[in-house]
Amino acid sequence: MSLSLAAQVSDRRPLCAGPDPKPRPPKFALPAGAADCHAHICGPADSYRYAESRIYTPPDALVDDYTAMLRTMGIERAVIVNPSVYGADNTVTLKALETPGFELRGVAVIDGDTVADDALRRMDRAGVRGVRVNLVDVADPSGGLPLDAVTRLARRVAPLGWHVEFLIHVDSMPGFDAVFADFPTDIVLGHLGYMRPDRGPSEPGFRALLRLMKKGRCWVKLTGPYRITAGDKPYAGVTPTARALVEAAPDRLVWGSDWPHVMVTKPMPNDGDLCDLLLDWIPDEAVRKQVLVDNPARLYGF
């Protein structure tokens, strides 16, 4: 059933601002094979209905607009992550993975207790390489970590070589490394561990995250700096956290644009400006190539 965007917007789930329609190239040339490892496709709303449980309503953020941004940035590979506004309906994400001209991978949202094995295999053939568990940007985030259910989910996808991606506040979990020490798959954390605004590398949960990364069990996405600091560009409050991650485990990091930057209440960043933050976070060119090219190739099978 189709439903127009206007009909789906409500006071409780307001319409987000759209991305900057005029992305500019970064100040440095991205290496060949660079990957944007975190982006969402949303819409068109008159064709794909959003979940009633969502907490925001995105504007149409279509695959043609996204790939135009990638071309401007000089990015050849990308990972489309199913956004929370669709719940466990991966239709839009799977359709986006069919887009020609780019190497594309996906991260799906599934119900691990009900999805059939053949459905998982179809998603694998389509390019899905992980499943997402969102414990933060949901209508009721008070439930905590459903570890038993998530572990069952991980066991379902482990034979495919997939990982489990979490959106979770790592600063709320001082025993993070112990909780996931024996997890069935690698795990991936979005938004530099998604610590609450202006909390830094001294947080016990963050130190635990670094320990798990050094053991080769965890990856972190350098994404969404505007989500973890009270300040505006260049998001200086994030710099110590980013540099600590790079120093501790550069082989376990990937970068992503977080396009189309949903739920951003600050001035909308230009995607070129976001990419340029890597010059400050990762001044070494060889390490930047590792984060932009080599690590994504390992994690997503590019």
Span 168-176, average pLDDT: 92
Residue 141 has what pLDDT? 46
pLDDT band at 206; cut points 50, 70, 90: very high
pTM score, whole prediction: 0.92
pLDDT band at 83; cut points 50, 70, 90: very high
Instruction: Say if residue 55's pLDDT is above 90.
Output: no
* 143-147, 171-175, 193-197, 288-292: which is most confident: 288-292
Q: Which of 21, 15, 56, 52 is nearest to 271 (CA)?
A: 21
Q: Which residue has the higher pLDDT, 246 or 51?
A: 246
CA distance 259 to 80: 10
Identify the CATH number of the domain defined by range 5-300.
Answer: 3.20.20.140
Residue 82 has what pLDDT? 96
* pLDDT, tens only, 217-253: 899 999 999 999 988 999 999 999 999 999 999 999 9
Q: Which residue has the higher pLDDT, 133 or 146?
A: 133
Structure tokens at 231: 């300040």
Is 64 annotated in the active site? no
Residue 38 has what pLDDT? 98
Q: Are 245 and 204 in contact (CB under 8 A)?
A: no
Can you give the residue ranges of every domain in the chain? Answer: 5-300
The single residue of 36, 171, 177, 258 carrying the catalytic annotation is 258
For 6-15, 265-274, 284-293, which range has the lowest pLDDT when averaged over its residues?
A: 6-15
User: Burial, 45: exposed, middle or buried (Cβ in 10 Å; 0-12, 13-18, 19+)?
Assistant: buried
Q: Which of 129, 93, 136, 285 is nearest to 219 (CA)?
A: 129
Q: Which of 145, 132, 150, 200 is nearest to 175 (CA)?
A: 145
Residue 114 has what pLDDT? 84
How large is the greatest C-alpha to C-alpha distance in the chain, in angstroms? 50
Residue 142 has what pLDDT? 46
Percent of the chain with pLDDT over 90: 79
Q: Which of 37, 24, 108 is nearest to 73 (CA)?
A: 24
Q: Which of 286, 255, 283 is nearest to 271 (CA)?
A: 255
